């Protein structure tokens, strides 16, 4: 049996995984305390290393460290100095890109070359983009009727921000949260998913190397409960930024509301990807196949619901099947792999339940590969057809290599059907008719619409969900705004 652990990896990575890990507080990783959680290689089920399940006492130390750093060094550091630290961190992420990609590949099963080209590059981009902001934060002067007053506003950080990230984009999601929050002058306690902690711990080391004062970025490892819950309910925490499932997002939203903490929630998606018959069908099909199976479909913006104008259906289905047949399933560190496993056996079983009895029928794929991959949590790339709009396979985020393909006959019908699910993260539209492209983009209920392309992402472009896909925005100026509060100063002249 070949596992990630047998494949060639950088010496730094081999060294890092050779020891058990613990939370990173006040500038260093401590000795593991409390229960050890196995970090699992999903391509084989083997244990990579362990991370601690941080206790409430460890969480308290991390928050107090971040609070002290907020009061002490970070919020008062000059804006140009803060910018330099963030740029240096971006430089270090570039320098160690291959190493960082290997941690995420090991723990998530995603192909390492893709992680380096996509996730690490996006993380670098976040730090570079937001490094430009500290010197551009501005308040305003306010014209009030009584001219004996001088009234102005200041834009100030919130304090300690808790960032909770999902397993599927560990480094990249950490960067999406950290870069704007730090640029705004906040300090952080980051809790990565218990399944993928390693790149976040390494990121914290690199932040220190970049000149970030100890305590500005702390990382606590451990599960949602009790570690995450202890973190989000801590009285010194004023803001929570979360990316993950709708279910956990709702729970966090409720508790943050009760405690009057700021909360932004980036949640799941079931994204309609619409191909009109007048589109460049070859390009649309290639894009549809890529986005359906990229990272085994374990992507919030996966184009997992493909709506195809009836006359183009056969051509699109043939293209999808041909693309799926060329994918090479394998471990994340295997250079030949173009599609990894699912994150866990539990997740694979969940996906299989959707394939058996949640609507429609499997047109291709749907099986577990055997041979050298039998011990991993692999599932073949799969298409489901003949599903009704109310079937769970159409309405739910499956989070697996499963694309549900449905025909449609006209534009009003497809817009109505695309909007029927409760989720609204992204949508795609393929057509050569400019008027229709703008019309449909305006009518689709989703936070991002891609026209004649799919999956583009940039730190400057706001990102977030409509409806149950979330509250608030990451990226761009809006992504910064949520980590700032406005103070109004009245001065009698
Ligand atoms: P998850 O909700 O299970 O876990 C996310 C994080 O929340 C983890 O760190 C987990 O430990 C933590 N957590 C769980 N319960 C908690 C609690 N009670 N208190 C505090 N923290 C808690 O999600 P996941 O399986 O890691 O990630 C997949 C989900 O993330 C999918 O739904 C996907 O669509 C979504 N996602 C969304 C985006 C986006 O930009 N909208 C991006 C990536 C992933």
Sheet-wide strand order for 217-219: 28-29, 24-25, 217-219, 187-191, 160-164, 237-243, 262-266, 470-471
Name the pLDDT band for 334 (thresholds 50, 70, 90): very high
Nearest CA to ligand 1 atom 24: 166
Determine which helix (DSSP H) or strand (DSSP E) holds 91, and give its type and residue range: helix 79-95
pLDDT higher than 60, residue 309: yes
Contacts of 157 by beta carbon, 8 Å cutoff, 6+ apart: 70, 75, 184, 185, 186, 483, 484, 485
464 within a domain of the structure (yes/no): no
Q: Looking at residue 3, what is its pLDDT?
A: 57
Name the pLDDT band for 33 (thresholds 50, 70, 90): confident
pLDDT higher than 60, residue 182: yes
Ligand 1 atom closest to 469 (CA): 41
Print the domain residue range for 279: 272-458
Which two tokens mark 271?
A: 């994204």
User: Which residue, among 186, 188, 191, has the nearest Cα to 159 in the 3D structure?
Assistant: 186
Shared domain check, 482 and 441: no
Dmax (CA) for the chain in angstroms is 82
For the stretch 56-109, pLDDT in tens is 999 999 999 999 999 998 988 999 999 999 999 999 999 999 999 999 999 999
**CATH code of the domain in which 167 resides:** 3.40.605.10
Shared domain check, 232 and 109: yes
Shared domain check, 232 and 124: yes
Name the pLDDT band for 4 (thresholds 50, 70, 90): low
Name the pLDDT band for 34 (thresholds 50, 70, 90): confident
Count of CA atoms in the C-beta half-sphere (13 A) of 420: 16
For residues 355-369, average pLDDT: 96
From 233, 248, 255, the mutation candidate for ligand 1 (largest count of ligand atoms within 8 A of CB) is 248
Shared domain check, 474 and 450: no
Distance 163 CA to ligand 1 centre (A): 11
From 244, 245, 253, the mutation candidate for ligand 1 (largest count of ligand atoms within 8 A of CB) is 244
Nearest CA to ligand 1 atom 35: 244
Shared domain check, 154 and 282: no
Shared domain check, 198 and 106: yes
For residues 319-323, average pLDDT: 98
**Where do we find the tokens 């925005």?**
473
442 within a domain of the structure (yes/no): yes
Pick the catalytic residue: 300, 309, 380, 397?
A: 300
Task: Decide if 300 is catalytic.
Answer: yes
88 within a domain of the structure (yes/no): yes
Q: Looking at residue 325, what is its pLDDT?
A: 98
414 within a domain of the structure (yes/no): yes
**Where do we find the tokens 């009836």?**
310
482 within a domain of the structure (yes/no): yes
Shared domain check, 47 and 102: yes
Share of the chain above pLDDT 70, in %: 99
Q: What mean pLDDT, rounded, does the chain reach? A: 97
Shared domain check, 315 and 287: yes
For residues 302-330, average pLDDT: 98
For residues 357-374, average pLDDT: 96
345 within a domain of the structure (yes/no): yes
Shared domain check, 296 and 211: no
Shared domain check, 259 and 125: yes
Ligand 1 within 6 A of CB of 30: no
Distance 243 CA to ligand 1 centre (A): 5
Contact status, residue 319 vs residue 20, Cβ threshold 8 Å: no
CA dihedral 225, 220, 258, 463 (to 10 degrees): -110
Shared domain check, 169 and 35: yes
> Hey, is 354 helix, strand or coil?
helix
Task: Decide if 107 is catalytic.
Answer: no
Distance 266 CA to ligand 1 centre (A): 9
Distance CA 269, CA 464 (A): 10
Name the pLDDT band for 1 (thresholds 50, 70, 90): very low
448-451 and 262-266: which strand pairing? unpaired
Distance 486 CA to ligand 1 centre (A): 29
3 within a domain of the structure (yes/no): no
**CATH code of the domain in which 408 resides:** 3.40.309.10
pLDDT higher than 70, residue 463: yes
Ligand 1 within 6 A of CB of 119: no
Instruction: Identify the weakest region by mean pLDDT among 30-39, 142-151, 196-205, 345-354.
Output: 30-39
> Hey, is 137 helix, strand or coil?
coil
Ligand 1 within 6 A of CB of 168: yes
Ligand 1 within 6 A of CB of 121: no
Overall domain count for the chain:
2
Q: Looking at residue 35, what is its pLDDT?
A: 93
Name the pLDDT band for 395 (thresholds 50, 70, 90): very high
For the stretch 104-132, pLDDT in tens is 999 999 999 999 999 999 999 999 999 99
Shared domain check, 261 and 276: no
Contact status, residue 41 vs residue 80, Cβ threshold 8 Å: no
Global confidence as pTM = 0.97
4 within a domain of the structure (yes/no): no
């Amino acid at each position: 049996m070949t596992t990630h652990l047998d494949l060639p990896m950088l010496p730094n990575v081999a060294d890092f995984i050779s020891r058990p890990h613990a939370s990173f507080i006040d500038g260093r990783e401590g000795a593991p305390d409390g229960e050890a959680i196995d970090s699992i290689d999903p391509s084989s089920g083997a244990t990579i290393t362990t991370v601690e399940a941080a206790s409430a006492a460890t969480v308290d130390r991390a928050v107090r460290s971040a609070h002290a750093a907020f009061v002490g060094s970070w919020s008062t550091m000059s804006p140009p100095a803060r910018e330099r630290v963030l740029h240096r961190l971006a430089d270090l992420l570039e320098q160690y890109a291959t190493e960082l990609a290997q941690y995420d590949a090991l723990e998530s099963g995603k192909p390492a070359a893709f992680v380096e080209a996509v996730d690490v590059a996006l993380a670098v981009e976040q730090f570079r983009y937001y490094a430009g902001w500290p010197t551009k934060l501005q308040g305003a002067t306010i014209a009030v009727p009584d001219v004996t007053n001088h009234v102005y506003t200041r834009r100030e950080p919130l304090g300690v921000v808790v960032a909770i990230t999902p397993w599927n984009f560990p480094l990249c999601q950490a960067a999406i949260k950290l870069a704007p929050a730090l640029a705004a002058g906040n300090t952080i306690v980051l809790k990565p998913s218990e399944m993928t902690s390693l790149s976040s711990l390494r990121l914290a080391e690199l932040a220190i190397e970049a000149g970030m004062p100890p305590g500005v970025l702390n990382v606590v490892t451990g599960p949602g409960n009790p570690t995450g819950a202890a973190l989000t309910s801590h009285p010194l925490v004023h803001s929570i930024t979360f990316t993950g499932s709708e279910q956990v997002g709702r729970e966090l939203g409720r508790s943050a509301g009760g405690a009057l903490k700021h909360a932004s929630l980036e949640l799941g998606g079931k994204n309609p990807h619409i191909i009109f018959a007048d589109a460049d069908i070859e390009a649309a099909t290639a894009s549809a196949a890529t986005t359906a199976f990229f990272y085994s479909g374990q992507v919030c913006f996966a184009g997992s619901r493909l709506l195809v104008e009836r006359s183009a259906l056969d051509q699109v289905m043939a293209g999808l099947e041909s693309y799926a047949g060329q994918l090479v399933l394998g471990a994340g560190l295997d250079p030949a792999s173009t599609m990894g496993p699912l994150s866990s056996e539990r997740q694979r079983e969940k996906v299989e339940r959707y394939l058996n009895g949640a609507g429609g029928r499997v047109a291709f794929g749907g099986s577990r590969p055997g041979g050298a991959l039998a011990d991993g949590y692999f599932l073949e790339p799969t298409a489901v057809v003949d599903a009704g709009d109310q079937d769970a396979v159409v309405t739910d985020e499956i989070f697996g290599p499963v694309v549900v393909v449905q025909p449609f006959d006209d534009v009003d019908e497809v817009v109505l059907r695309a909007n029927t699910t409760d989720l609204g993260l992204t949508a795609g539209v393929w057509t050569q008719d400019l008027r229709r492209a703008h019309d449909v983009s305006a009518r689709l209920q989703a936070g991002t619409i891609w026209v004649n392309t799919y999956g583009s992402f940039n730190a400057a472009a706001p990102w977030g969900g409509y409806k149950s896909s979330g509250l608030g925005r990451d990226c761009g100026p809006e992504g910064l705004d949520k980590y700032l509060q406005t103070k109004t100063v009245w001065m009698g002249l």
